[in-house]
Structure 1
Amino acid sequence: MRRLIQLSAFIMALAITLPALAMGLDEAKQKLDGFKQQGLIGETPTGYLDVVKAGGDASAVVQAINNARRAEYTRIAEKHSISVTQVETVAGQKAIEKTPSGQFVLMNGKWVRK
């Protein structure tokens, strides 16, 4: 019984803490350009960001931005009656084209400084 109470307390503490650890979209947007310039985050052909080199909150930024992108790609796909994969592919191409020189893009499975 004691063990069950301890486990319940741990689960409740975890449930309260996890949302606080998640980074908000606004904070992620503020950090994105700096992390890209530092070479921590790069664009991929799939339309999403990925971590090039771990550091700081890079993973949290990637997760927050990718969640927002996924929602937007889904909205666009539904609006135009096309697959999400098609939207992701076009978005990935555009993101790579727009990436400034000196930042990383994923090409043929390898990170390349543009």
Structure 2
Amino acid sequence: MKKLTISAFVALLSISGMSVPTASYAQEITLQEAMDELSSAKDKGWVGEQPNGYLGVVKSSAQAKQIAEQINEARRQEYARIAEENDIAVADVELLAGKRAIERTQPGHFVKVDGQWKKKP
């Protein structure tokens, strides 16, 4: 897996209005395909942001799981890199990223609050 740049990391956390290309889920999708499909997956309520800095699956499907797995692996690597560069704990980076991701989540998309999935008002 490639290391992500800060701009790619920000793109992972941002919510865009991109349309989703159709992909075959018989095989694993790539990180780029997952990133391309993230906005639509959020629009459809398949995945949402969690306080731990990672995506969670709201409506279980192979497609939603693969999107979350690919993006979460990239996030894990980026959080570890950021933590190492700044001599801080990975857990601190995860919590900060989770807080920012939830703050940036657009209304109507799912976020996990107190262990429950809720649509952001």
TM-score under structure 2 normalisation? 0.76
Shift of 1:88: 0.1
Q: State the number of aligned residues.
A: 95
1:77 aligns with 2:103: no
Which residue number in structure 2 is paired with residue 65 of structure 1? 71
How does 1:34-45 map onto structure 2 within 5 Å?
34-45=40-51
1:24 aligns with 2:30: yes
Which residue number in structure 2 is paired with residue 86 of structure 1? 92
1:46 aligns with 2:52: yes
In 2, the alpha carbon distance for the partners of 1:95 and 1:30 equals 17
Alignment RMSD: 1.2
Residue identity in the other structure for 1:35: A
Instruction: Determine what percentage of the aligned residue pairs are the same residue.
Output: 46
Which SS does the other structure have where 2:59 is aligned? Answer: coil
Residue identity in the other structure for 1:26: Q
Shift of 1:56: 5.2
Task: Look at both structures and tell me which one has the larger radius of gyration over its CA atoms.
Answer: 1
In 2, the alpha carbon distance for the partners of 1:71 and 1:23 equals 18
Q: Which runs of 5+ in 1 are unaligned?
A: 1-19
Higher helix proportion, which one? 1
Which SS does the other structure have where 1:106 is aligned? Answer: strand
Q: Which runs of 5+ in 2 are unaligned?
A: 1-25
Shift of 1:64: 0.1
TM-score under structure 1 normalisation? 0.80
Shift of 1:55: 3.1
Which residue number in structure 1 is paired with residue 118 of structure 2? 112
